Amino acid sequence: MRQTFDEKTDPSFGPRHVPLIRAVMKTQGLDGFVVPHEDEHQNEYLPAANDRLGWMSGFTGSAGAAVILADKAAIFVDGRYTMQVRDQVDGATFEIRDLIEGGVPKYLEEQTKSGWSVGYDPRLHSPDALDRLKAAVAKSGARLVPVAGNPVDAAWANARPPQPAAPVVPHPTDYSGEDSADKRARLGQALADQSADAAVITAPASVAWLFNIRGGDVIRSPLPLSQAILKADGTAQLFLDPAKVTADLPAWLGNQVSLKTPDELGPALAALKGARALIDPALSSAWYFEQLEAAGAEIVRGQDPTILPRALKNAIEVEGARKAHLRDGAALARFFHWLETHQNIDEITVAKTLERFREETGALKDLSFDAITGTGSNGAVIHYRVTERLNRPLENNSLLLIDSGGQYLDGTTDVTRTLAIGEPTAEMKARFTLVLKGHLALGHVRFPAGTTGSQLDVLARAPLWSAGLDFDHGTGHGVGSYLGVHEGPHNISKRASTVAFQPGMIVSNEPGYYKEGGYGIRIENLQVVVPEAEISGGERPMLGFETLTLAPVDRRCVDVSLLSETERAQLNAYHARVLKSVNPLVDEDVRTWLKGACAPL
């Protein structure tokens, strides 16, 4: 469970490992090879055995890609990781390029030549991503070719860690709120309504939700690496490594679910000959599409049928989220009190201590992600990851940004607070308050049914925009119920969205501001969509948000003169709720601190 701060890899990996990969490529007749960050399950967080990009380059971020050519190589990351990639990756081996602006397709178009063969592993790329790569290499006269054996795996050889085999355990209905049989029946009916015979489900989070099971194959997410085929009649096949199958699992799944081994997946796909098979091109790799096409199935491209139902938390899951956030809030209060009563602290100590307070709840199963603890200019790096090499002591008269969360059986938490270390400057307080104003506006908005996140995003940015400022990340992401901390299909961002908010969706509210080389500010709560009471004279049903997170906002960072009376009342009401909720769960010293932290402005 412990967050680690040493590097899994280091800059010497490129010079040592890339030549090994090139040697294998030569035997396969390849002039180039594309290495995505994603694994066979399109996971965000990877088991060690599937972290091919990390092994070959030294880069440990959660998004990226690389291209290996005979005489050069490039690694691609987005703006979150520009600092980290330069710290971890050998610049003489890899050219560092932007993942978003042009990315891999542009590089292939520029660097490949007519007649070249550029390899790819069909298990690791989505069909849509492959289409973009094929179009790019076609412009140079090269061709994209599938490989039967991944050259990275061959070069890694016996040094590669084994595939994870954590036990798969039932997730009781006390937490899930609905039997798996009921889920399968209603999703099967939805398939029948689309004239589909079956759905091929390849995302581990979807499998975990559908069968009410959890595992431990993926760090920070309780996921079992697995696949499933759901039939329109509600029966299903679940493909699991037998080493993961616990004694009580077959009875839990019931006689409508057939347990199969991963080796039986190919034949099961072949057995869909003539069937209409739904599969999600955004979540499933090209390999599945190739197998279904070869089998003679009629492929129906569509969204994974679990995605929207999984996002719509039922009453049991929402109540579980409330309990998890209350427990988490008490741990945060203890931590904040500790932080104010200790000196000579560094970023790693902050992360370790916060994890300790969560562990002391007795309910923590894992972190929901490695904590981001950035002091001073490190806080301006949006997805900063502290390591032994980057670790810095907390700087006096600066800001400390802490983004963290926990995995509990009844819910997943994710909270960001920006704290004053010493006395913040007037500029820091002004910009913190602009972020706070956007956060409050988004947290208290009423909106009609049918409203999407992209329509609400401006509320969080408008105060910053009025000062000529902005932030370069989304404002909100969905969150699972003891599943992934990042979950769709809903979000809040500038990007156009067609997914309307519905009651039960949990979403983050996290505007920020980042002054490069100076400091970072982010305020994040999780909130759940709820129906709002009817408004006298109103004509349409309205929705709103209930805030789940229970943690004080640092009053020392607030320029009260910039808040309206309504905004002051909103923050004071939130702090009163935090105090009332958390106070009974902490000891006297923390209560005293909490009373001051939640005092009215």
Q: Is 147 exposed, middle or buried (0-12, 13-18, 19+ CB in 10 A)?
A: buried
**463 & 588 share domain:** yes
Quick check: 8 pLDDT over 70?
Answer: no
pLDDT at position 538: 85
User: For residue 495, what are the contacts with CB-CB under 8 A and spacing of at least 6?
Assistant: 454, 474
pLDDT at position 5: 78
584 lies in some domain: yes
**317 & 300 share domain:** no
**Which range is least confidently modeled, 1-5, 248-252, 509-513?**
1-5
pLDDT at position 83: 74
Quick check: 471 pLDDT over 60?
Answer: yes
Residue predicted with more confidence, 533 or 8 = 533
Residue 2's pLDDT band, with cuts at 50, 70 and 90, is confident
5 lies in some domain: no
- Cα 599 to its chain centre, rounded Å, is 34
Instruction: Residue 569: count other Cβ atoms within 10 Å of its Cβ.
Output: 14
Q: Which of 305, 333, 355 is the endpoint of a domain?
A: 305
Quick check: 507 pLDDT over 60?
Answer: yes
pLDDT at position 144: 95
Sheet holding 143-146, edge to edge: 95-98, 73-77, 65-69, 32-36, 117-120, 143-146
- How far apart (Å, rounded) are the C-alpha atoms in residues 345 and 339? 8
CATH of the domain at 526: 3.90.230.10
pLDDT at position 441: 98
Amino acid, res. 596 = G
**258 & 174 share domain:** yes
**413 & 533 share domain:** yes
- Domain tally, the chain: 3
**Which range is least confidently modeled, 97-106, 288-297, 342-351, 357-366?**
97-106
**455 & 333 share domain:** yes
User: For residue 416, what are the contacts with CB-CB under 8 A and spacing of at least 6?
Assistant: 372, 401, 402, 403, 404, 510, 512, 522, 523, 524
270, 272, 276, 278: CA torsion to nearest 10:
-70
**388 & 474 share domain:** yes
**Which range is least confidently modeled, 386-390, 423-427, 444-448?**
386-390
| DSSP per position, 33-73 | EEEES--TT--SS--GGG-HHHHHH----SS-EEEEESS-E
Tens digit of each residue's pLDDT (9 = 90 or more) over 536-554: 888 899 999 999 999 999 9
- Give the CB-side neighbour count of residue 174, counting CA atoms within 13 A: 5
pLDDT at position 10: 63
Inter-residue contact 8 to 51 (CB < 8 Å): yes
Quick check: 527 pLDDT over 90?
Answer: yes
Mean of per-residue pLDDT scores for the chain: 95
Q: What integer is the mean pLDDT of 183-204?
A: 97
φ, ψ of residue 508 to 5 degrees: the values are -85, 155
Burial 115-127 (b: 16+ CB within 10 A, else e): ebbbbbbbbbbbb
**188 & 76 share domain:** no
367 lies in some domain: yes
**549 & 413 share domain:** yes
pLDDT at position 304: 97
Handedness of CA 547, 549, 550, 552 (dihedral sign): negative
Q: What integer is the mean pLDDT of 337-357?
A: 96
pLDDT at position 590: 98
125 lies in some domain: yes
* Number of helices followed by number of strands (H, E) in the chain: 19, 28
301 lies in some domain: yes
pLDDT at position 12: 75
- Cα 244 to its chain centre, rounded Å, is 24
**124 & 240 share domain:** no
CATH of the domain at 19: 3.40.350.10
Quick check: 400 pLDDT over 90?
Answer: yes
Q: Which of 305, 334, 356 is the endpoint of a domain?
A: 305
- How far apart (Å, rounded) are the C-alpha atoms in residues 17 and 25? 13
466 lies in some domain: yes
Quick check: 84 pLDDT over 80?
Answer: no
462 lies in some domain: yes
**188 & 216 share domain:** yes
**481 & 559 share domain:** yes
- How far apart (Å, rounded) are the C-alpha atoms in residues 391 and 389? 6
**143 & 176 share domain:** no
Strand partners, 145: 119
Q: Which residue has the tokens 């190919």?
A: 266
Domain range for residue 201?
Answer: 169-305
User: For residue 57, what are the contacts with CB-CB under 8 A and spacing of at least 6?
Assistant: 9, 13, 14, 17, 66, 75, 88, 89, 90, 93, 94
**Both structure tokens of 383:** 């997805």
407, 408, 411, 413: CA torsion to nearest 10:
-40
**Both structure tokens of 200:** 């091929």
379 lies in some domain: yes
Quick check: 316 pLDDT over 90?
Answer: yes
Alpha-helix runs per DSSP H in 341-424: 347-359
**Both structure tokens of 550:** 């229970």
Q: Which of 305, 340, 370 is the endpoint of a domain?
A: 305
Tens digit of each residue's pLDDT (9 = 90 or more) over 567-593: 999 999 999 999 999 999 999 999 999
